[in-house]
Amino acid sequence: MIEWILVILLFLMVIGSTQFFLVQMKATIKEWLIFNACAPSIFLWILGVFIEKIFHLRFLMHSAIIPLTFFGTQGLFIFPWKGMDIIPQISHIFMTLASILTVFQTFVLNDFKQATIGFLFGLLTFPFISIQQNYCARNPEKLKKMLGLSFGEEKKEK
């Protein structure tokens, strides 16, 4: 039951963030994937939930833990907690909960074989993470524009 609630909430967050990037910010598909890396990470976990329900294989849910934790949990500490930034922070909370739920279920179901297979499969997400991080580092102005951030810029008080 909790899984389905997270699936619905995360899916709605992906729709909202996709609309923001593609429609409001007029991002290209490449920019959407790079600057909204949460979306493919969430999609991987949602796909994993469906595969688990249909085929009783949990490995894809486990493979999503690496990007969910990297982009979701880390996002909780990187992005501001004010104004419109609260919306992606809610998504980061749900991503973190999806990771925690998947790990918790592993212990409840004693399903360490699927967890191991999924973790090894999840290592394949490292090239995506590397490409995403590299692109953001090489394009800080685009990053600031797309996310409305001001990394490294201190507001001076008068």
| Residue whose structure tokens are 């409305």 | 148
- Residue 150: pLDDT band by 50, 70, 90 thresholds? low
Residue 154's pLDDT is 47
Query: Would you kindly state where each structural domain of the chain is located, as residue ranges?
Result: 2-147
Chain centroid offset of residue 109 CA: 25
In whole angstroms, what is the distance from residue 101 CA to residue 58 CA? Answer: 12
Q: Could you report the per-residue pLDDT of 58-68, keeping only the tens digit for each? A: 999 999 999 99
- Across the chain, what does the average pLDDT equal? 92
149 or 26, which is more confident: 26
Q: Could you report the per-residue pLDDT of 121-130, keeping only the tens digit for each? A: 999 999 999 9
- Buried (b) or exposed (e) across 56-82, using 16+ Cβ within 10 A? eebbbbbbbbbbbbbbbbebeeeeeee
DSSP state of 72: I
Residue 149's pLDDT is 65
Residue 152's pLDDT is 52
In whole angstroms, what is the distance from residue 141 CA to residue 103 CA? Answer: 37
155 or 36, which is more confident: 36
Q: Could you report the per-residue pLDDT of 94-143, keeping only the tens digit for each? A: 999 999 999 999 999 999 999 999 999 999 999 999 999 999 999 989 88
Residue 158's pLDDT is 46
Nearest by Cα to 75 from 152, 18, 149, 153: 149
Q: Could you report the per-residue pLDDT of 71-90, keeping only the tens digit for each? A: 999 999 998 999 988 999 99
| Residue whose structure tokens are 């493919």 | 40
